[in-house]
Structure 1
Amino acid sequence: MLTIVKDYWTNFVHLFFPHTCMGCNADIMPEQFLCTECLMQLPRTGFFEAADNPVEQSFYGRVAIDAAAAAFYFTKQSLVQQLLFQLKYKGRQDVGIWLGQQIGHQLNISKRFQPIDAIIPLPLHPKKEKLRGYNQSTCIAKGIAEVLQKPVYTNVIVRNKYTHTQTQKNRVQRWENMNDAFTIIEPEILKQQNILLVDDVITTGATLEACSNALLSVPVASVQIATVAYTLL
């Protein structure tokens, strides 16, 4: 009897609030983004449990972070790219929160990312944030915070250098492009805090490196990095 009632309720909800999986367009409940099959097919990296993973290696000899990882691999025309496209260009901030929750669950079981005192989303330049209407990294950070029950700091560091896309730049050009791009405006709040720095995608890590160096100048106790996706050049 309970099953019948549940089925009727599900059909009723779908009738007035149709919702489909972002991966395969299958009919799903409104609070979901992916069906079970597409969720299982997301290309997880396993980096949160792996020391010396490729994300951490990208920072070797450049900045003294304690740990770094990405939840998923990023490839063109993939479901991960589609989710991030919805987040960044279609106003789907809820997708960012959901992706952050996925990271939060992985952080929860990882012994390599402890302790974490506060979460900082990688800042956007004010001009770019105004054009988009929000910072996609803040959405991700909020999702992580919901799982970890940690504060999100959005006004302690600013991006004072407007940079154009780094897609066509090599590693050296990307580093030069980000030189002195960030300024700490609330150093007292950050002192001796274990910071989790959050972004959507990492390629060379030049932007995250510049932001980490700014945070370490405070000095904070440690900087750890978590992103939704990792892509190869």
Structure 2
Amino acid sequence: MTLSSSNSSTLDPLGMFYPNICQACQRHPAYHHEGYVCTACRSHIRHIQTPFCGKCGLPFPGDLDTEFTCSNCIDQAWAFDSARSVAYSGGILRDIIHRFKYMGANWFECFLTGAFMAKAGKELHPGQWDGVISTPLHPVKLRERGYNQANCLAQSLSNHLNTPLITNTLKRTKATKPQATLSRSERLQNVKDAFKVSDKQSIEGLKLVLVDDVMTTGATVSACADSLKRSGANTVAVWTLARGGLSTNLA
């Protein structure tokens, strides 16, 4: 699934509510089906390319002909089986995710799901997975925000894979501090025992794709995967739209 730029002057039905202009730069035309993000802004997004760690997807700034495991994964026993991210979290993408996540900028949904599926849709295929699940928000945070941004990505992947979107099974039972303010060790401790599976039979033996918007240290998705694995899941592969904590100079 890809999102192509449009030069058409056809009136966008949502143009009555949102002007047909890029909501990232406010300079160039952009339309609803593009998520109101213009071609110029899209060109600034740095996609993660090989080589990268076979376990966590961390990019390697060099040339490698074989799969490798990074030092983080050697030192840390992650609960997930693999993790992949579409792009570096920086610049325009970081700003768009922040506005969508915290400021109610839901007009970016088409852009974010399209960018996610342009990569995830090529790597993940129908028939290989039993279910898709998103990293849950704590009920208090969900009420404040009104929606779970990761669920939008998970729903698009579920549709592509023609496999169930598993909801209300993985729950966030601990109101954790915002991960962005914490160190690596603090993040790991912050999400320890923060997630619980309410219906173990529903995921027993399943191969699952766990979806989140951003992965930084991997602490949150690993805590989710740990709960899923201990409850009987066979495989947990993590997919996120963005990878935080990396320099775009690696790209």
TM-score, length basis structure 1: 0.83
Q: Secondary structure at the match of 2:34?
A: coil
2:129 to 116, 124, 134: 116
RMSD: 3.0
1:194 to 207, 219, 234: 207
User: Could you tell me which residue of structure 2 aligns to residue 32 of structure 1?
Assistant: 34
CA displacement, residues 72-108 of structure 1 (integer Å, 9 cap, x when unaligned): 1012xx1101210221122234534542332223123
CA displacement, residues 183-233 of structure 1 (integer Å, 9 cap, x when unaligned): 111111111111111111111111111111000012111000011111117
User: Could you tell me which residue of structure 2 aligns to residue 71 of structure 1?
Assistant: 86
One-letter code aligned to 1:37: A
* Runs of at least 5 residues in structure 1 that lack an aligned partner in the other structure: 1-5
One-letter code aligned to 1:80: L
2:103 to 87, 90, 115: 90
Q: Using a 3 Å threshold, how does the CA distance of structure 1 residues 169 and 30 change in structure 2: closer, same or farther?
A: closer
User: Could you tell me which residue of structure 1 aligns to residue 115 of structure 2?
Assistant: 102
**Aligned partners of 2:51 and 2:147: how far apart in 1?**
27
Runs (4 or more) in structure 1 with deviation over 4 Å come to: 11-17, 47-50, 55-60, 111-114
CA contact (8 A) 1:48 1:69 kept: no
**Aligned partners of 1:103 and 1:155: how far apart in 2?**
23
Moved more, 132-141 or 48-57: 48-57
The answer as to 2:58 corresponding to 1:54 is: yes
**Aligned partners of 2:112 and 2:160: how far apart in 1?**
11
Moved more, 167-176 or 220-229: 167-176
2:139 to 120, 123, 126: 126
User: Could you tell me which residue of structure 2 aligns to residue 3 of structure 1?
Assistant: none
CA contact (8 A) 1:119 1:196 kept: yes
User: Could you tell me which residue of structure 2 aligns to residue 80 of structure 1?
Assistant: 93
Q: Secondary structure at the match of 1:31?
A: helix
Offset at residue 134 of structure 1 (A): 1.1
CA contact (8 A) 1:191 1:218 kept: yes
Matches within 5 A, 1:172-191: 172-191=185-204
**Aligned partners of 1:40 and 1:49: how far apart in 2?**
22
One-letter code aligned to 2:46: P
User: Could you tell me which residue of structure 1 aligns to residue 24 of structure 2?
Assistant: 23
Offset at residue 59 of structure 1 (A): 4.7
CA contact (8 A) 1:93 1:139 kept: no
* Runs of at least 5 residues in structure 2 that lack an aligned partner in the other structure: 1-6, 60-68, 247-251
**Aligned partners of 2:125 and 2:10: how far apart in 1?**
41
2:44 to 34, 41, 49: 41
User: Could you tell me which residue of structure 2 aligns to residue 10 of structure 1?
Assistant: 10
CA contact (8 A) 1:97 1:143 kept: no
User: Could you tell me which residue of structure 2 aligns to residue 163 of structure 1?
Assistant: 176
CA contact (8 A) 2:86 2:242 kept: yes
